[in-house]
């Protein structure tokens, strides 16, 4: 673009020469008597128009005609805007003729760098022009006319528009962008950089990207990075950076060298995408797959006990569960029936559940008393769990030969013993607090409970009783027991399926909020003698 200084100088030269002539001789001199001046004006890259004091055009150089699409016309100053198609930069509002730079120059004003949009039949697509104007004064200071100099800046306006669009894109992108000089000094950062790193623009301008270094990469890592970009190649990699707060975050970074007209590197543009959430998700998926594999193996556990029909199932709220059920062969030949619930659900709870299962199975090899087993299990979990986790668990010991059952219940839901008519014979209440809360807590086992033909022992987790319908009402214990009673003549496995389907029907299959686990132990044919 022609500079303000040069435009002003050009206008002054034209004005000074024209000003030495009286108004009647301007056109004659410019067109006939001053071939040198006319040659100069015709060779300029800018459009030049000269008008006398009455607003009548005296001179149009070829560039002016080319830019405007219309040459010198014998029109009054009032007609300038309508004849040549002058508009404000919005492209829609007509530019009043009396406010055009040349019109103001005839009134003695000097106008510099006025933006006007020209659109007429010869220029249907329109052009932007940058206009400057100056009055032509005589020796005595009177105004003899005016001259205007302008240039077509349509291309630069389009480039400016594209540049503004690109700038807006960089400013509004969610990825961090910063630009450094060839020495690595930061010259620009976008708002996303400030939001992600916690550093303000003022804090990082003039600094180097070292302020983001986490210390998690060695010198050779950064040496390789610089070696790559100094060769003019684009670097792509995953980097652990550090925010102003000291918190680490993962970024997927691209560093691109910018080259000048000579082909030499002038700047580096770096784009960083925060992928911390993605990395954490990948890590979570890794642990999830391990927990899922372990749990699927656990849930396949089955038990066959003569005279009994026993089954258990867990329906997880997420891909892993904090619920736990198990059947364990105990040291004295009895069968341990276990149901438990870790506070919460998901990966953490699933891993705690796996840990609880491992401890309990190990202790059951040398001990059979449910109270002693839970006491030992609690001691281990207290040492391992934080203040936000605990385990509720019922361990029932079934003696298949004596046909009796005793238990210890660490804060879990009561288990229920129903007779052949579905009546409640016994409620197996909690005998202690949840596991993992208090060190050296001692759990006691219950008295022996006699089992008779067609009895049903029911073990549940609160994912069943606390399941919510759309109206927020709970499924509840009574509804669960009634479902079991109505299917009491079916197999243990069928009863579990019926119970789960009833819960789903009640909740209208909304998103399951908690894990659902149940164990059914049916007494088929036993000797009533104790």
**Which spans in 133-190 are helix H?**
154-172
Please indicate, yes or no, whether residues 72 and 217 belong to a single structural domain of this protein. Answer: no
What is the predicted pLDDT for the residue at 41?
A: 75
Based on the fold, state whether residues 263 and 310 are members of the same structural domain: no
Contact 230, 265 (CB under 8 A): yes
**CA 462/CA 405 separation, integer angstroms:** 23
Q: Is residue 205 in a domain? A: yes
pLDDT at 24 exceeding the cut of 50: no
Closest CA to 151 of 49, 292, 262: 49
Sequence-distant (≥ 6) Cβ neighbours of residue 384 within 8 angstroms: 355, 436
pLDDT digits (tens, 9 = 90+) for 452-473: 999 999 999 998 999 988 888 9
Percent of the chain whose predicted confidence (pLDDT) is above 90: 64
Answer yes or no: do 123 and 11 share one domain.
Answer: yes
Q: Examine the domain organization and report whether 361 and 422 are in the same domain.
A: yes
pLDDT greater than 80 at residue 364: yes
- To the nearest 10°, the Cα dihedral for 90, 96, 101, 103? 170
Query: Has residue 284 got a pLDDT over 50?
Result: yes
Give the C-alpha separation, 18 to 24, whole Å: 11
Beta-sheet strands, E only, within 98-245? 111-120, 123-137, 143-152, 176-181, 186-189, 235-242
pLDDT bracket for residue 155 (50, 70, 90) = confident
Q: Is the pLDDT of residue 435 over 70?
A: yes
What digits encode the pLDDT tens for the residues 378-432? 999 998 887 778 999 999 999 999 999 999 999 999 999 999 999 999 999 999 9
- 244 and 348 in a common domain: no
Rounded (to 5) percent helix, strand, coil in the chain = 35, 30, 35
At 317, phi and psi to the nearest 5? -75, -30
| Residues 137 and 201 placed together within one structural domain of the fold | no
> Which of 34, 48, 70 is CA-nearest to residue 145?
48
- Collapsed DSSP state (helix, strand, coil) of residue 137: strand
Q: pLDDT digits over 66-108, tens only? A: 999 999 999 999 999 999 999 999 999 999 999 999 999 999 9
Average pLDDT of the chain to the nearest whole number = 86
70 part of a folded domain: yes
- The 10 Å CB-count burial string (b at 16+, else e) for 340-360 is bbbbbbbbbbbbbbbbbbebb
Query: What's the mean pLDDT in 227-244?
Result: 93
Do the strands 123-137 and 111-120 form a parallel or antiparallel pair, or are they unpaired? antiparallel
Determine the structural domain holding residue 256 and report its residue range: 173-274
Average pLDDT over residues 312-322: 70
According to the model, what pLDDT value does residue 21 have?
42
Integer Cα distance of 435 and 370 in angstroms: 13
Whole-number pLDDT of residue 388: 77
Q: What is the DSSP string of 372-424?
A: HHHHHHHHHHHHH--TT--EEEEEEEEETTTTEEEEEEESPPPEEEE-TTS-E
Q: Once rounded to an integer, what is the mean pLDDT over residues 523-528?
A: 63
HSE-CB for 331 with a 13 A CA cutoff: 13
- Residue 252: CATH number of its domain: 3.30.450.20
| Residues 105 and 208 both lie in one domain | no
* Residues 375 and 462 grouped into a single domain: yes
pLDDT at 334 over 60: yes
Q: What is the DSSP annotation of 298-321? A: HHT-----TTEEEEEEEE-SSSS-
Domain stops at, among 124, 158, 192? 158
pLDDT of residue 302: 73
* 141 three-state secondary structure: coil
Residues 516 and 397 in one domain: yes
Identify the residue with better confidence: 159 or 376. Answer: 376
Instruction: Indicate if 519 and 455 belong to the same structural domain.
Output: yes
Question: CB-based contacts of 121: which residues, under 8 Å, 6+ apart?
Answer: 69
Closest CA to 284 of 352, 346, 349: 346
Same domain, 231 and 343: no
Q: Tell me how many domains the chain contains.
A: 3
Between 19 and 338, the higher pLDDT residue:
338
* 314 and 455 housed in the same domain: yes
Domain end among 108, 134, 158: 158
The torsion defined by the Cα of 428, 430, 431 and 434, in degrees rounded to 10, comes to 140
What digits encode the pLDDT tens for the residues 120-140? 999 999 999 999 999 998 888
Give φ, ψ of 152 to 5 degrees. -80, 115
């Amino acid at each position: 673009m022609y500079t303000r200084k040069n435009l002003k100088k050009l206008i002054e030269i034209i004005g000074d020469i024209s000003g030495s002539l009286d108004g009647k001789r301007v056109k004659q001199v410019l067109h006939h008597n001053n071939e040198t001046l006319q040659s100069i004006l015709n060779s300029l890259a800018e459009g030049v128009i000269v008008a006398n004091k009455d607003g009548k055009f005296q001179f149009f150089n070829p560039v002016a005609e080319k830019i405007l699409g219309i040459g010198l016309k014998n029109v009054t100053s009032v007609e300038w805007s309508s004849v040549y198609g002058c508009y404000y930069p919005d492209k829609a509002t007509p530019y009043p003729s009396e406010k055009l730079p040349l019109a103001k120059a005839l009134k003695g004003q000097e106008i510099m760098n006025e933006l006007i949009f020209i659109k007429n039949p010869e220029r249907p697509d329109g052009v932007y022009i940058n206009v400057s104007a100056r009055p032509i004064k005589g020796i005595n200071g009177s105004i003899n006319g005016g001259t205007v100099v302008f240039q077509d800046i349509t291309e630069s306006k389009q480039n400016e528009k594209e540049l503004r669009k690109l700038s807006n894109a960089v400013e509004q992108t969610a990825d961090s962008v910063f630009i450094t000089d060839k020495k690595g000094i930061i010259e620009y950062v976008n708002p996303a950089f400030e939001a992600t790193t916690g550093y303000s623009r003022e804090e990082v301008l003039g600094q180097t990207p070292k302020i983001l270094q986490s210390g998690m990469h060695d010198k050779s890592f950064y040496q390789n990075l610089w070696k790559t970009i100094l060769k003019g190649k684009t670097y792509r990699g995953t980097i652990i950076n550090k925010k102003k707060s000291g918190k680490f975050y993962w970024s997927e970074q691209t560093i691109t060298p910018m080259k000048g007209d000579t082909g030499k590197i002038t700047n580096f543009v770096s784009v960083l995408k925060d992928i911390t959430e993605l990395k954490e998700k990948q890590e979570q998926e890794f642990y999830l797959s391990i927990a899922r594999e372990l749990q699927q193996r656990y849930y396949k556990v089955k038990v066959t006990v003569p005279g009994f029909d026993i089954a258990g199932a867990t329906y997880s709220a997420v891909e892993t569960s904090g619920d736990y059920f198990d059947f364990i062969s105990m040291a004295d030949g009895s069968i341990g029936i276990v149901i438990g619930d870790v506070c919460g659900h998901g990966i953490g709870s699933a891993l705690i559940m796996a840990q609880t299962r491992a401890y309990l199975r190990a202790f059951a090899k040398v001990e059979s008393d449910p109270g002693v087993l839970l006491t030992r299990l609690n001691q281990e979990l207290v040492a391992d769990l934080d203040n936000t986790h605990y385990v509720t668990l019922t361990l029932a010991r079934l003696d298949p030969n004596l046909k009796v059952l005793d238990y210890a219940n660490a804060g879990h839901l009561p288990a229920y013993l129903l007779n052949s008519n579905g009546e409640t014979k016994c409620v197996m209440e909690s005998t202690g607090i949840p596991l993992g809360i208090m060190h050296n807590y001692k759990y006691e086992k219950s008295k022996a409970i006699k089992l008779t033909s067609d009895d049903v022992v029911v073990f549940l987790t609160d994912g069943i009783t606390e399941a919510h319908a759309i109206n927020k009402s709970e499924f509840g214990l009574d509804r669960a027991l009634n479902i079991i009673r109505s299917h009491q003549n079916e197999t243990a496995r069928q009863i579990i399926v019926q119970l789960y389907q009833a819960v789903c029907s009640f909740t209208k299959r909304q998103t399951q909020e908690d894990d659902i686990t149940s164990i059914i132990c049916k007494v088929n044919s036993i000797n009533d003698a104790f």
